[in-house]
């Protein structure tokens, strides 16, 4: 895990080839979509080709369906559906990234499914772990880290969905464990979006 500051970013940026694909992860409320969308818009304004590709799993839709229909989907079945959807999206988006010029910024990845499985108390299996490592081999992985209490406030403020505080706390702990294990870059997601986007641009070499 590499927790980076502005100084660290400047040194890193001058010493490496800019990545073609970066993956941004973090708990709900970390501001992933906002930061990525703003980054891509800025790059487009500077005439730099870039795109946001979301590796969604359909979890929000499944949760909303379960609440509205009063049908409790078993965790095992929900986990299988989400893993399948996310894997298919990763495959599709990875292909798009290889065929497209400029920078691709992926919103979430298979590691997010590993975190979900862990929080739910289910074993993810060696295959999913291998796929997560293999499919991100040529990418730069970034964790947007944020205090779960602040993330909880953000989620409630947007009023689009709900996440229990305990879930956010457990998910953050697992993300940080994976970040340390796999030496991801870690950014402070409590920073203003403009500052966070500046850091992402430095990492991307843009």
Is 183 within 8 Å of 2 (Cβ atoms)?
Answer: yes
Q: Which two tokens stand for residue 181?
A: 């294990």
Query: How many angstroms separate the CA atoms of 85 and 45, rounded?
Result: 32
- CATH number, domain containing residue 99: 3.40.50.300
Question: pLDDT for 95-107, tens place per residue?
Answer: 999 999 999 999 9
What global pTM score does this model have? 0.87
Query: How many angstroms separate the CA atoms of 28 and 191, rounded?
Result: 16
Is 119 within 8 Å of 174 (Cβ atoms)?
Answer: yes
Question: pLDDT for 129-141, tens place per residue?
Answer: 999 999 999 999 9
Question: pLDDT for 40-55, tens place per residue?
Answer: 999 999 999 999 999 9
pLDDT above 90 as % of the chain = 69
pLDDT of residue 120: 86
Residue 160, Cβ density class (10 Å: 0-12 exposed, 13-18 middle, ≥19 buried): exposed
Is 139 within 8 Å of 106 (Cβ atoms)?
Answer: yes
Q: How many domains does the chain have?
A: 1
Give the domain range for residue 70.
Answer: 2-204
């Amino acid at each position: 895990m590499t927790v980076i500051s502005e100084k660290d970013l400047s040194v890193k940026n001058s010493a490496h080839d800019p990545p073609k694909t970066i993956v941004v992860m973090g708990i709900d409320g970390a501001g992933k979509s906002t930061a990525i969308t703003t980054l891509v818009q800025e790059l487009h304004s500077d005439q730099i080709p870039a795109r946001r590709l979301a590796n969604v799993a359909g979890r929000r839709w499944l949760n909303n369906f379960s609440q509205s229909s009063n049908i409790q989907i078993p965790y095992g079945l929900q986990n299988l559906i989400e893993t399948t959807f996310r894997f298919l999206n990763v495959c599709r988006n990875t292909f798009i990234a290889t065929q497209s010029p400029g920078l691709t910024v992926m919103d979430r990845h298979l590691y997010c499914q590993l975190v979900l499985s862990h929080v739910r108390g289910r074993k993810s299996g060696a295959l999913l772990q291998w796929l997560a490592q293999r499919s991100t081999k040529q990418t730069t992985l970034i964790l947007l880290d944020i205090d779960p209490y602040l993330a909880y406030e953000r989620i409630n403020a947007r009023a689009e969905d709900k996440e229990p505080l305990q879930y956010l706390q457990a998910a953050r702990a697992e993300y940080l464990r994976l970040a340390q294990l796999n030496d991801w870059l870690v950014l402070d997601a409590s920073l203003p979006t403009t500052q966070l986007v500046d850091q992402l641009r430095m990492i991307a070499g843009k």
